[in-house]
Chain A
Amino acid sequence: MPSTLAARFKSLRQIPAKPREVPLSWSRIALIAGLVLAVTLPFVVKNFVIFQLTMVLIYAIAILGLNMLTGFNGQFSLGHSAFYAIGAYTTAILMEIYGFDFYLTIPVAALICFAFGFLFGLPALRLEAIYLALATFALAAATPQILKSTPLSPWTGGVQGIYVLKPDPPFGLPVNSDQWLYFLTLGIGLVLAVIARNLIDSRSGRAIIAIRDNPIAARAMGVDIALYKTLVFGVSALYAGIAGSLSAVVVQFVAPDSFTFVLAIALFVGLVIGGVGSIPGAVIGGLFLVFVPNFAEEISKGLAGAVYGAILILVIYAMPSGAAGLVRMLVAKLAGRSR
């Protein structure tokens, strides 16, 4: 008899190790068009929209991290809000209490989150899918309480949180601070996306995917499962931490109640909507997280949650494997017709 848990999650394993190749020219055209759009948008829209777009990119970075863990390595996490919070608080505390420069706090936040993620990955090694989901969920639920607790409040500011000042654009660039933060986030996001793609395409990436698809076979091939799993947990937390660190200055405020399990669940929803195991899908996930709740609220104030839920269900009906799955399917259909 096959393990029932393994059978439940078989569907996760059916994600192709390498997504069906979108014809290169088309994917390149889409990428360039997307980049041109991303660069021109902040010059034509209002500051508030720039803020929203920056948040889209920040969520996309966090979703990308979650994707490395869940999409490529097959480990569940409903607790990435914790790493996001650690990143945000690291930046806020270093800037406001110790007077660090904002740009220096990003690598510090990344390293601290990597360490936390790596350490959390150690107990996670022993847990099967559903238990890991719950353990990480517990982490997300406990985070706000820990941040509020008295022993930490000299640094975290307790329930009050910490106000953070936006950095001004450097070198006298002809942009305002919202635009500057947008471009900074865009740049960091692109670098992280390239790193993620190269990591997944490398020897290590194949080991990471092999662990997801068949851990026993991977071990037989000589893959050090414990090492790779904990490292991926660390890298994934690092991405979430960088996203959190950027969010601290973009929102200009950190408080425990911004980092509840609702955020963790939102990141998870973004991951699935964008497409599990797809790097560009993260942006779609980010767009969904920022704009759909606003849209739901516009339709009905009182029933915003219900509208959001209904949209979510309809989206899952329309694309059960997320936006990336839909694109893959359409490409397969078109390619099939032209032959």
Chain B
Amino acid sequence: MELFIHQVLAGLATGGIYACIALAIVMIYQAIHHLNLAQGEMAMFSTFVAWQLIEWGMPYWAAFVLTLVLSFAAGVAIERIVFRPLHNAPVLSHIVVFIALFSIFNSAAGFIWDFTIKSFPSPFGSQPLFEGAPVSAHDTGMFGVTFVLLILLFLFFRFTRVGLAMRAAAVNPESARLVGIRVGWMVALGWGMAAAIGAVAGMLIAPVVFLEPNMMLSILLYGFAGAVVGGLTSPAGAVVGGFIVGVVENLAGSFIPYIGQELKLTIALALIVAVLMVRPSGLFGSRLVSRV
């Protein structure tokens, strides 16, 4: 039983990472209705920028804020420069461009900062939260930041004009344009926000998994899993989904004999498919109903 509780807590700690990235995935999905395969690599690149700023002697929080601003600007720029000319192209072509961005960011990061593993500072410290606690101060800080971010985003989308305009532009671009919303810029704003959220996630994750160009590969996959389990239309669902995936992965690894450890990823992914069988829009997602 003690092992069980310990494993659940450890699962929650890794689940926090997945929840972070799942949240970023869902936010961009809400804003642009695309699943951005390059999201993880963009976050990784932002984290490298922050690392570089800190290396140059900038204090942590100054580097944090500057990275957010830079990531936001880069996100807007990518939308304006790369995707604007393609807005009439088939959706499958968009996915190929995501793949291209993935390849570019990954290769460029490896070229500029090479593939050696770097440690990234934590603003909360890596000591245990209290004597003998299974979660560290950093894990707790990560939960805290994720929750604050979630609440801020909720307030933004629910109660501000820009938030409402962004939702309208995502759900029904034609009608949104007719009521005077500049849909193109709303999408660009969504990209900027997603890049900034990704940067936060990257900077929170980096102290745990260490910084290197491939750090996001498996995390992104688990993040997708979390987002899908929770439902792509629900930010809170994505966070819960991320925690569920983390806990299931950990429990499967320690309690299923023989294959559990080797097939952790497979079991976590089988979980997604199982959830989707029962609830095709995720646990907390809303079903889209279309009129014919």
Contacts and interface: CB of A to CB of B under 8 A. Distances in A.
Interface stretch (B105-113, B133-141, B184-192, B195-203): B105-113
B225 interface: yes
Contacts of B228: 131, 134
A4 B35 contact: no
Interface in A62-99: 70
Contact of A150 (B91, B108, B259, B288): B259
Nearest to B174: A7
B91 A9 contact: yes
Interface residues of A, number: 57
Interface stretch (A137-145, A180-188, A196-204): A137-145
Contacts of B95: 268, 272
A149 interface: yes
A320 B272 contact: no
A137 B104 contact: no
B100 A149 contact: no
A313 B34 CA distance: 17
Contact of B99 (A2, A123, A216, A269): A269
Given A1-B172, A12-B91, A316-B93, A150 B262 contact: yes
Contact of A312 (B35, B97, B232, B276): B97
A304 interface: yes
Which bucket holds chain B's interface residue count? 35 or more
Contacts of B232: 130-131
B269 A141 contact: yes
A99 to B, nearest CB: 29
B263 interface: yes
Interface string A275-293: 0100000000000000000
Q: Chain B interface mostly helix, strand, loop or mixed? A: helix
Interface stretch (B56-64, B81-89, B157-165): B81-89
B269 A6 contact: no
Nearest to A143: B266
A130 B288 CA distance: 13
B269 A316 contact: no
A321 interface: yes
A273 interface: yes
A309 B100 contact: yes
A309 B101 contact: yes
Given A8-B91, A127-B276, A130-B35, A148 B291 contact: no
B180 interface: no
A11 B266 contact: no
A137 B291 CA distance: 30
B269 A138 contact: yes
A12 B90 contact: yes
Nearest to B271: A138
B119 interface: no
A144 B103 CA distance: 21
Contact of A320 (B90, B289, B291): B90
A128 interface: yes
Contacts of B147: none
A137 B90 contact: no
B290 interface: yes
B33 A8 contact: yes
A126 B279 CA distance: 9
B89 A316 contact: yes
Nearest to B227: A134
A6 B92 CA distance: 14
A150 B258 contact: yes
B273 A276 contact: no
Contact of B104 (A12, A138, A265, A305): A305
Contact of B259 (A3, A9, A149): A149
B69 interface: no
Contacts of A304: 107
A159 to B, nearest CB: 11
Contacts of A8: 33-34, 91
Given A9-B91, A149-B262, A138 B103 contact: no
Contacts of A164: none
Interface in A1-50: 1-6, 8-9, 11-12, 14-15
B179 interface: no
A310 interface: yes
A133 interface: yes
B280 interface: yes
A333 B290 CA distance: 37
Contacts of A320: 86, 88-90, 93
Contacts of B258: 150-151
B96 A273 contact: yes
A123 B274 CA distance: 9
Contact of B280 (A11, A14, A127, A141): A127
Contacts of A313: 82, 97, 100-101
Given A134-B224, A316-B96, A216 B292 contact: yes
A72 B85 CA distance: 27
Given A1-B290, A4-B171, A149-B262, 9 more contacts: A2-B291, A4-B170, A141-B221, A142-B265, A269-B99, A276-B92, A302-B107, A304-B107, A316-B89
7 contacts: A1-B290, A8-B34, A135-B276, A138-B221, A138-B225, A150-B259, A312-B103
Interface of B: 33-35, 82, 85-86, 88-93, 95-97, 99-104, 106-108, 110-111, 170-172, 221, 224-225, 228, 232, 258-259, 262-263, 265-266, 269-270, 272-273, 276-277, 280-281, 288-292
A-B interface, 5 closest residue pairs, ranked by CB to CB distance from nearest: A305-B107, A3-B290, A320-B89, A309-B104, A309-B103
